[in-house]
Structure 1
Amino acid sequence: MLTKFRVRNFRNFKDWFEVDLNTDRSYEFNNHAIEDNVVKHGAIYGKNGGGKSNLGLAILDITCHLTDVYISSLLKNNYLNAFSDLELAEFEYHFVFDNQEVVYKYGKFSIESAIYETLTIGGVEVVSIDRRDSEIATYNLVGSENLKNDFTGRTISPVKFLKSNALLDHNYMNEIFDKFLSFVSGMVFFRTLTKSQESYGQPVSSSRVSQVIIEQDMLNDFEVFLNNAGVQCKLKQSGSQGEEIIEFDFGDKSIEFSQVASTGTLSLGNFYFWYLKLKSKDITFAYIDEFDAYYHFSLSRLIVQLISETNSQTIITTHNSTLMSNNILRPDCYFVLDSESLTPLHKLTDRDIRKAHNLEKMYRSGAFDE
């Protein structure tokens, strides 16, 4: 899992900005949201324009040079902080796999390739390069001894090159290395919009949402999901093979789902697409931005409950204070973002927060204002 992240000189993060998902709290409720003293399911609150979306994009930056994802032109624009004199955007990730810490640091001029990289496993440096000094990479994994390490004229990451070209021996360090790259390949940032899907990270199938639901034989489950979400309906499948669509079944008449569904229902359809991926374990880490922009507060609670029951590590962003409840997550899983820090609720007050406390009431009354 991701345990800590730091970034500077990227978009609105001029100075070092840290996300620390480690926790030492011993709350005896909603322990499903914590795994090995790390926040597995968290929620971020912050003002409009405060950087919630950019934080998600910063965390997903790692996928832009370690995987084969499509890089949107929107991500390439305004990459470096406009007020900084630094030439590089710098990123630092801390992960834990099988109780071993993996630390990956790099700096970039632009989104596509890193200028320097260092990867350590259990305190041992296993990959490094600094193109400002030399185009020669160093490797320290069994099986990488004869791997080409001269990257003159090439922008590929040595970490990615090692994964793609070396036949690494089966030992503990190499297994941790593989788990690190598998985790990165499963990271995703997404928004559940209406008629479109906005996502970065893990490649998304070009298939329509309805087609994916039908191909996975999940139409009945999708119908149950919508009804539980308050959309009373009956669904049916129609269309020829490869062109299947979902329709609302009104008995003597049926209408294509996308033609009559409300904005919120269309958003639910897109969320369900991602929910299937979360349940299937295709996604290791999901940063879900503005997930409830079109949802009633009770529906938002249902969505958070479904997300927190998956095996993926997840962070959602929201303005919905009704979700700030000890009946849903824990005080160490709710974070408040400002221009300088991301802080869990329990560190924003001197009070000893207990399960009976009304977090939303405390938040609205300013109890967490520093």
Structure 2
Amino acid sequence: MLQKFKVHNFKNFKNDLEIDFSDVNGYKFSQDCITNDLIGKMIIYGKNGSGKTNLGYALCDLKATLGFSPEINTLHSFISNADSDSDITTFTYTFLFNQKKDTAVYEYSKSDMVNLVSEKLSVNNHVLYEYDFKENTFITVDSDYFHSNDIYSIYQSSTNSSLPFLRWCVNNGSVDKDSIFNKIYNYGSKITQIFTPTTAAVRLTKNELDVLDKNVKELENFLVYMGIDCKLTMEKLPDGTKELYFVFKNRKVSFLENASSGTLSLFNFYIHFLMPHKESSILYFDEFDAFFHFELSEKIVQYMKEKYQNALVIFTTHNTNLMTNKIMRPDALFLLTTSGKLIPLCKATDRELREGHNLGKLYMNGEFDED
């Protein structure tokens, strides 16, 4: 479980931007936003240009660094703040493992999306290793952690600045399956960053059609949950391809050719993000409801809370209808300021926020400090 995250000197965040998921208030309502005493479901608000998308890139960088999404590495080569005197960006992830008995801090610095400058792993305040990629040397090692110290010299002789030691150890079978190394690696592999779903009809690949064929009923249940009364089926065409259909009393009609733009947005949301990511550690939904009616947005939040109870789910939005204690709570609703600070609503005002407060109305009336 991720307890804290901090990034320094990343894009529009010149200084430290930190999220403490253990900073939970004592609210008795909307407790499904809390998982194992950590914030598990949260919504982030911020003005255009405040950095909501960049925050997602930063938080999800662990996945790219551990080699699970190399396509992201080529998109944003320059990552440090343009006004900073330094070109080094530092990411720090603090995890709780083994029923919260162990605290692991994984920290690394980069000069761009690909190349590492340093890497460090500590468990319970004890440094297992620290590596300097510029000097190609270990600064600190725990000589008792591995069965043989040869692993350090082997890595040092074969590494490059895009290959973190943690990733190398896991891929070379140098650590036990239940080690902290594998736990962080597996957590990183299940991170998903999701952008605004498109409303355009898309043609699915053969692999996507094959997977959908096995999940048609789940897609149907998802759409019904969202208020779209429908029955679906997959049919095999004479040329061997497959196509999704709406089923009516007297006929079947092509789904992609007849679905509304709102239904297509939900379809794309499910196909590209929910279907392939049924098990996730982090789901970061950026502007997830840009094309959704406000009631549909609420249903999606509720759906994600039910289906991903153990995942950290983060939404960004401008929709103040979601700023309500009915589905969220003041310590799970955050404001991202233009100065690069992330503040929960309960700390953005001197007012004691209670269940009966209309948070959206208070926000629109300027109750919360966004400086």
TM-score tier after normalising by the smaller chain length: 0.7 to 0.9
Q: Are 2:205 and 1:162 aligned?
A: no
Q: Are 2:152 and 1:149 aligned?
A: no
C-alpha distance in 1 between matches for 2:240 and 2:10: 42
Is this contact kept in 2: 1:238–1:244, CA < 8 A? Answer: yes
Q: Are 2:292 and 1:291 aligned?
A: no
1:358-369 equivalence runs, <5 A: 358-369=358-369
Q: Are 2:185 and 1:181 aligned?
A: yes
Structure 2 residue aligned with 1:264, among 257, 262, 265? 262
Structure 1 residue aligned with 2:218, among 216, 221, 227? 221
1:4-83 equivalence runs, <5 A: 4-72=4-72, 75-83=75-83
Tell me the amino acid that sits aligned with residue 64 of structure 1.
Answer: A
Is this contact kept in 2: 1:137–1:151, CA < 8 A? Answer: no
CA gap 1:153/1:163 in 2 versus in 1, 3 angstroms: closer
Instruction: Please name the residue that 1:254 is paired with.
Output: 252
Secondary structure at 2:18 match in 1: strand
Secondary structure at 1:63 match in 2: helix
CA gap 1:113/1:73 in 2 versus in 1, 3 angstroms: closer
1:83-162 equivalence runs, <5 A: 83-98=83-98, 99=100, 100-136=102-138, 139-140=141-142, 141-143=145-147, 145-147=149-151, 148-151=154-157, 154-155=160-161, 156-162=163-169
C-alpha distance in 1 between matches for 2:73 and 2:181: 30
Is this contact kept in 2: 1:9–1:80, CA < 8 A? Answer: yes
Is this contact kept in 1: 2:136–2:156, CA < 8 A? Answer: no
C-alpha distance in 2 between matches for 1:126 and 1:83: 34
Instruction: Please name the residue that 1:202 is paired with.
Output: none
CA gap 1:176/1:154 in 2 versus in 1, 3 angstroms: closer
**What's the TM-score once normalised by structure 2's chain length?**
0.88
For these two proteins, the number of residue pairs brought into alignment is 356
Instruction: Give structure 1 stretches of 5+ with no counterpart.
Output: 198-204
Q: Percent same amino acid at aligned positions?
A: 35
**What's the TM-score once normalised by structure 1's chain length?**
0.88
State the 1:252 CA deviation: 4.0
1:335-354 equivalence runs, <5 A: 335-338=334-337, 339-354=339-354
1:324-343 equivalence runs, <5 A: 324-338=323-337, 339-343=339-343
Write out per-residue CA displacement over residues 178-202 of structure 1, whole angstroms, 9 at most, x where no aligned residue. 21211111111112522689xxxxx
1:268-287 equivalence runs, <5 A: 268-273=266-271, 274-278=273-277, 280-281=278-279, 283-287=280-284
Instruction: Give structure 2 stretches of 5+ with no counterpart.
Output: none
| Greater Cα offset, 61-70 or 321-330 | 61-70
Is this contact kept in 1: 2:288–2:316, CA < 8 A? Answer: yes
Tell me the amino acid that sits aligned with residue 161 of structure 1.
Answer: W
Write out per-residue CA displacement over residues 290-325 of structure 1, whole angstroms, 9 at most, x where no aligned residue. 111111011111100011121211111111111111
C-alpha distance in 2 between matches for 1:196 and 1:211: 21
State the 1:48 CA deviation: 1.2
Is this contact kept in 1: 2:194–2:283, CA < 8 A? Answer: yes
CA gap 1:35/1:151 in 2 versus in 1, 3 angstroms: farther
C-alpha distance in 2 between matches for 1:14 and 1:74: 22
| Greater Cα offset, 298-307 or 206-215 | 206-215
CA gap 1:207/1:50 in 2 versus in 1, 3 angstroms: farther
CA RMSD, 1 decimal = 2.5
Is this contact kept in 2: 1:65–1:112, CA < 8 A? Answer: yes
State the 1:160 CA deviation: 0.7
Instruction: Please name the residue that 1:200 is paired with.
Output: none
C-alpha distance in 2 between matches for 1:362 and 1:242: 57
Secondary structure at 1:259 match in 2: helix
Secondary structure at 2:267 match in 1: helix
